[in-house]
Structure 1
């Protein structure tokens, strides 16, 4: 048993986070994302939403706010889709809570996001039901 590790983080996810190096990327995928198709490593987090996982992960995971122009990426809304992703405001609050400076967020076209997910170190497949809740995080350096 370890102290101060958020209980929502599984041993498998903790291992992946520890293995990742500076510049590696992690995808937090909503329930609709084709995780198995696009992930070279897939960590299951069924039953959990992206916001609570993001909050827990950022307790341990430094974002690359120094060397990456966009340490955070979100899948942008497809042109013509009237959806307004309300979950993005929640993400911004969580990011602000864990970052000394507000990280720049890149909005990534859907198929470009899939391509980046294929190159990511891992995809965390969640049970998140919100639309356009997919997020890409770039790992920074522990100081």
Structure 2
């Protein structure tokens, strides 16, 4: 058994997260997302609402560094609770939070390394997470210059300058 009981216990999801590299895409989607047949599908859906989208997003967020998070541009107006929860979850993570056309979210399913299906029924409940890196881990060597973009992420993540 894993030492950290708060870490993700689902073996396939844990494996997918460990397999992600910089700019790889992981999607966490609601029960109705049309997952491509050839996608790495991690189907966690048990019954309606189990597990919930945000339960999975929060668990994934504990183990995966996001660089960019995309969701449908309908969400801020049509599902403001989801918009607020996403903003709260990713605040201070260094991730760029962006909205895009719903059709674009569907297209990301074609390039996602893995797609995690939840049991939630949430309007526009599909989130694209582009994996990032922690600037603290990658730019801590002597005679290494941290690019300005990573300095911004570092400051957002750690609340201080590198």
TM-score tier (shorter): 0.7 to 0.9
Structure having greater relative contact order (Cα 8 Å, sep ≥ 6): 1
After superposition, residues 31-46 of structure 1 pair within 5 angstroms as 31-35=31-35, 37=36, 40-46=39-45
Shift of residue 6 of structure 1? 3.3
Q: Give the conservation status (yes or no) of the 8 Å contact 1:9–1:57.
A: no
Q: Give the conservation status (yes or no) of the 8 Å contact 1:39–1:117.
A: no
Provide, for residues 34-80 of structure 1, a one-character-per-residue CA deviation record: whole Å limited to 9, x for no partner. Answer: 12x3761110111211111111111110112xxxxxx00002229xx
* Corresponding residue of 1:118: 110
RMSD across aligned positions (CA) = 2.2
Q: Give the conservation status (yes or no) of the 8 Å contact 1:23–1:138.
A: yes
What is the total number of aligned residue pairs between the two structures?
Answer: 130
* Corresponding residue of 1:58: 61
* Corresponding residue of 1:67: none
Runs of 4+ residues over 3 Å off in structure 1: 5-9
TM-score by length of 2: 0.71
For structure 2, the residue ranges without an aligned partner over 5 or more in a row are 138-162
For structure 1, the residue ranges without an aligned partner over 5 or more in a row are 65-70
Equivalent-residue separation in structure 2 for 1:24 and 1:106 (angstroms): 17
TM-score by length of 1: 0.80
Q: Which has the higher helix share?
A: 2
Which secondary structure state, in structure 2, belongs to the residue aligned with residue 14 of structure 1? Answer: helix
